[in-house]
Structure 1
């Protein structure tokens, strides 16, 4: 089964470490047969375009720099505007959708940002989130901002796992039918 994956890049600036990390994850997913698409939230795409892309995707990769052990405001903004199928909402693009997380940060001190985002995606939106997530810090990158060999391999492994996980979620109707906590 070929899956369509969407990467939402939550960095306010293009071409940085978060882009490099997401690209490596997506390279692994492509190697596993997935089709991939990227939206750079720093370019301020129309919210309707982001919502439609999430709705069309089989899986969504949330890629974000880490600020004070949290996802970027761009990722938070997307999630604040994403319906979850509650009363009066007409859609729920993340409901039953596979999701994956990659965060970048200066040091390991803020790696728990991955858990924070995982809890929101899984509990509030009922997305099925690939665990354990991926957190890449400064030593995982060289002086040019590219991932080091071992980190690139790790990110690619997460991408392959995300493609397989997404296919498994798509093929599990009982899993896709689960609803948010409240």
Structure 2
């Protein structure tokens, strides 16, 4: 069986170089060969043309410094939601959650990382609901980054908000 498979594979790989013949052997089994056997009626096998796909070299992204253009974003939408921007956020213990709106969905190796006042906050993760804990009262800035390892893939616009919480002396 293995020589037959090898012959078929070779015949498909080199259709211009060899023909394939189908016949019935002495035991009544259907067999294939690249040469018609002596004394046996063999039918030539017509093979359809092979499918082929031309490989294309990947296109290099434009050099930002050379073209002056920003690189194309991986995500069409990346923004923080669930944050009031015109009024104070009431969080008596300084704990609240924000949501990340992202389209298309977060891709395989990418993670979310929050930036609170331009500094990484918490551990990166892949869940679009992020919790902030014990945030001081006052005005803060918040953004979310999509990262791959230590590399920033994309960053959301920065949102400025104010936390209002009970002050305990």
- TM-score, normalised with respect to structure 2: 0.20
Question: Could you say which structure has the greater relative contact order, defined with CA pairs below 8 angstroms and 6 or more residues apart?
Answer: 1
Higher strand proportion (structure 1 or 2): 2
Compare CA radii of gyration and give the structure with the larger one.
2
- TM-score, normalised with respect to structure 1: 0.19
